Amino acid sequence: MVILCVIPATSDFGNAEVVKLARKYDPDGIRTLGVVTKCDDAANAEASDIVEKVLMERNSDVRLQLGFHCVVNRSQKNIEAGMSREDLWDKEKKVFTTSDLLKRIPKHLWGTPRLMEKIAKVQESRVDECLPKIKSEVRHTLLELEQKLRELPIQPESEVEQFRLFNDTISKIREDLSRRIRGEFMSAESADRNLTIAPKVASMVQEFRQDLLSKNPEWLGEDMIDEVDDTVKTFVTGHTVDNLTGPQVFINFIKQVFIKEGLLEKSVNGLVADVGEHLRMVVQHVIQEHANMSGALCNRLEAKAEDHIDQLTAKARYFCKAISECQEVTFTTDGEYTENLNEFRKSIWLNNDPKKYLAANFGAEGQLPSEFLELLKQAKEEPRKLATLEICASLHVYTKQMIKNFVETSAKLVKFNMLDKLAKKLEESWREDQMSSLRELFPKDDAILKRQQDLKEKIETLYEFKEQLSSLRTTILLDRRAVTGRTFSEKAEARAG
C-alpha cells in the first residue's frame, strides 16, 4: 500500500538506489513516503543540506508527493543497553529541539510517533480509496471461480451419490423433453428455436398437408379431364347407362394415383422420417445439456435413445402405411359430399345453372378452368360429357376431403406413437438398462478431481481474504489510537509533559 523509502540523512537522495527502486513500483510517487534516518549524524556534521532535502526547496531535490519525515534510531550501544521505545522518543525529541540545524525542520516532519501517525493516516486514505475496488475484484473473482467449479463435471464417488446423480439426471431429461413435447418450452437463445418439439412437429404436419395437396392431380384441369374422358369412352360407355358417374372409373383413379403410385405412403413416410430425425437431434441436445458431467453416461443414454426412437419410427411408419392402404376403400360418411353432387345433377335436368353449385363447392366461377366450364355447356346434350364432369367433380371434392382426413389421422398416429410416450418410454428404458452399471457411467477422473480441489482452495483463500478486508479499516483506526483514544504522538507528548 505505502512504500517507505528509508534513506540515511547524510546520503545523496538523488542517487540513492532505494529511491530508484521505489520509482519503479510507484512512478508518480503518490504512495512513497521518504523516511530519513540517522538525523543525529547530520546534526553533528560540519555541513549538511538535510533541511533543504527534507523540505524539497531546490529544483534538484528529490520530490515525493508524501514528502520526507525525519527520525532518530537507536544506536548499537542503545540496543545493547536495552533502551525502551519511550526513552528513544525522548532522545529523538532532544535531538530535534536542541540542534540549531534540525530546529529548522517543522515539527510535523520529525519524530517516530508522528511518523507512525502519518503512516496510519496515509494507509487509511489508501484503504478508503482502494478497498472498494479490491472488494469488487475479490467478489468478481469469487463468482468466476465458483462458476468454473459448478461447470466442472460432478464426480460422485459412492454408489449412493452415483444413484442420486443418475436419478436426478434422468428426471431432468424427462421433464425437459416433456415440456418440449407439451409446447411449454421457452428460451431466449436463438439456437433453441430449432430445438422445440410441439411447434416443429406441427409445422412439419402443415408442410405434409401442403405437399399432399400440391401433388393431388388437377381434376378440373385439361389433362385430367382428357384422361377421365378417355377412360369413360373406353370403359364406361354402353355399360353404365343408369349410372353416369361411372363408379369403377372413380375407384380406379383413386387406387392408381394414391395407392399404387404410392402418393400417400411416400408422403407420410417422409413426415415420419422428418419427425424421427428431429427427435433424435432434440433428445441428443437435451441429454448433452443435463448429462454433461459424464461422457460415458451421455454416450450410453444417446445410444439407447437412438434405438428407441428407431423403434417408435418403425411403429409409426407401419400404422401410417396401413391407413394409406385403407384409402383404397372409397367410402365416406360426409353427407355434404353426396348432397352437392345430387344438387349438381338435379340442376342439369331442371334447366338450372349448375355453375352456381360448382362455384359454391369447388371455388369461385372465375377460378374454374375453362375446360371444365366448356364441359358444363355440353353436359345436357352429351350424357357422356356429364359422366366425365361428374367423375372429375367427384374426384376433386373427394380427394381433398380424403387428404384432409388422411393428414389428420396420420398426424394423430405420429403424435401418439412418437411424441406422447417418448419421454416416459425413454426413462423406463434408461433405468432398466443402466442401473446395473452405475460405476461404468461415472468413472473417476483424477484431472477433474484435482481441478476441483484447486478451485475449492482458491475460493476458500479468497473468502478468508474477504473477511480480512472487512475488518481492515477498523484495524487501521485502532492502530492509530491507544486504548485511551489518543494518538501515538499525543501519548508521547503527554508522557514528556
Q: Which residues are 69's β-sheet partners?
A: 35
- Range 18-39 burial, b when 16+ CB lie within 10 A, else e: bbeebbeebeebebbbbbbbbb
Helices 222-231 and 247-254: crossing angle, nearest 10°? Answer: 130
- Rounded Cα–Cα distance for residues 370 and 361 (Å): 17
The pLDDT value given to residue 336: 66
End-to-end CA distance of the chain: 34
- Arithmetic mean of pLDDT, 197-204: 94
CB 187 within 8 A of CB 374: no
Q: What is the rounded distance in angstroms from the CA atom of residue 494 to the CA atom of residue 482?
A: 13
Closest CA to 441 of 283, 307, 311, 303: 303
Residue that is written with C-alpha cell 530519513 in the block: 36
CA distance 296 to 441: 5
Which are the contacts of 267, defined by CB distance < 8 A and separation ≥ 6? 208, 211, 212, 215
H-helix or E-strand spanning residue 283: helix 263-290
DSSP conformational letter for 105: S
Condensed to tens digits (0 to 9), the pLDDT of residues 458-470 reads 999 999 888 887 7
Q: Which CATH number fits domain 3-137+479-496: 3.30.1370.10, 3.10.180.10, 3.30.200.20, 3.40.50.300?
A: 3.40.50.300
CB 180 within 8 A of CB 282: yes
Rounded distance between C-alpha atoms, residue 306 and residue 284, angstroms: 9
Residue 124 has pLDDT above 50, yes or no: yes
Q: Residue 243: pLDDT band by 50, 70, 90 thresholds?
A: very low
- The two most distant CA atoms of the chain are separated, in Å, by 149
pLDDT at 269 over 90: yes
Each domain of the chain, given as residue ranges in start order, spans 3-137+479-496, 141-154+447-472, 160-444
Structural contact between residues 5 and 19, judged by C-beta atoms closer than 8 angstroms? yes
* Segment 143-148 mean pLDDT: 92
Tell me the angle at which helices 383-414 and 355-362 cross, rounded to the nearest 10 degrees: 10
CA gap 146, 40 in Å, rounded? 56
Q: Which of 100-104, 203-207, 329-333, 422-426 has the highest mean pLDDT?
A: 203-207
pLDDT tier, 494 (very low <50, low <70, confident <90, very high otherwise): low
| Nearest-5° Cα angle at 77, 75 to 83 | 80
Task: Read off the DSSP letter of residue 418.
Answer: I
Query: Residue 40: its pLDDT value, please?
Result: 87
| 160-444: CATH topology | Four Helix Bundle (Hemerythrin (Met), subunit A) (1.20.120)
pTM for this model (two decimals): 0.59
Mean pLDDT check: name the lowest of 129-143, 316-330, 387-401.
Answer: 387-401
Lowest mean pLDDT among 136-150, 363-377, 382-396: 363-377
| Least trusted range by pLDDT, from 7-16, 386-395, 431-440 | 431-440
Using N-to-C axis directions, what is the helix angle for 159-182 and 422-434, rounded to 10°?
160
Q: In whole angstroms, what separates CA 261 from the centre of its chain?
A: 47
Same fold, 3-137+479-496 and 160-444: no
Does residue 121 come out as left (phi exceeding 0), alpha (psi in the -120 to 50 range) or beta?
A: alpha
Residues β-bridged to residue 68: 34
Q: Which of 228, 275, 272 is nearest to 253 (CA)?
A: 228
Give me the residues paired with residue 37 across strands. 8
Given a cut of 90, whether residue 26 has pLDDT beyond it is no
Residues 302-311: pLDDT tens digits?
Answer: 999 999 999 9
Cβ neighbours of 356 (radius 10 Å): 13
Q: Return the pLDDT at 389.
A: 76
The arithmetic mean of pLDDT across residues 410-415, rounded, is 95
Region 45-66: mean pLDDT is 88
Listed range (39-43, 77-81, 147-151, 268-272) with the worst mean pLDDT:
77-81
Cβ pair 246, 236 in contact under 8 A: yes
* CA angle (30 as vertex; 28, 33 as ends), nearest 5: 115
Residue with the three cell numbers 375407384? 251
Expressed in percent and rounded to 5, the helix, strand and coil fractions of the chain are: 75, 5, 25
Highest mean pLDDT among 78-87, 332-341, 398-407: 398-407
Nine-digit cell at 66?
508524501
d(CA 174, CA 172): 5
3-state secondary structure of 382: coil
Predicted confidence at residue 292, as pLDDT, reads: 83
Contact 304, 430 (CB under 8 A): yes
Residue 141 — very low, low, confident or very high, per pLDDT cuts 50/70/90? very high
What is the per-residue pLDDT for 242? 43
For the ranges 38-47, 151-160, 396-405, which has the lowest average pLDDT?
151-160
pLDDT at site 241: 42
286-324: pLDDT as tens digits: 999 998 888 888 998 999 999 999 999 999 999 999 999
pLDDT given for residue 281 in this prediction = 95
Predicted local confidence at residue 197, as pLDDT = 94
Residue 32 contacts residue 26 (beta carbons within 8 Å)? yes
Q: How large is the average pLDDT for residues 186-204? A: 90
Run of H or E including 33: strand 32-37
* pLDDT band at residue 135 using 50, 70 and 90 as cut-offs: confident
Assess contact for 200 and 278: CB atoms under 8 A.
yes
Give the pLDDT score at 277.
Answer: 96
Query: 155: pLDDT confidence band, cut at 50, 70 and 90?
Result: confident
Looking at the chain, the whole-number percentage of residues with pLDDT higher than 70 is 81
pLDDT at 252 over 90: no
Q: What mean pLDDT, rounded, does the chain reach?
A: 82
pLDDT in tens, 387-397: 777 788 788 88
> What pLDDT is attached to residue 74?
85
CA 54 to CA 13: how far, in whole Å?
10
Alpha carbon distance 275, 206 (integer Å): 13
Higher confidence at residue 243 or residue 285? 285
Contact 201, 275 (CB under 8 A): yes
pLDDT category, 380, cuts 50, 70, 90? low
Tell which residue, 396, 17, 409, has the closest CA to residue 221.
Answer: 396
Grouping H, G, I as helix, E, B as strand and the rest as coil, residue 69 is strand
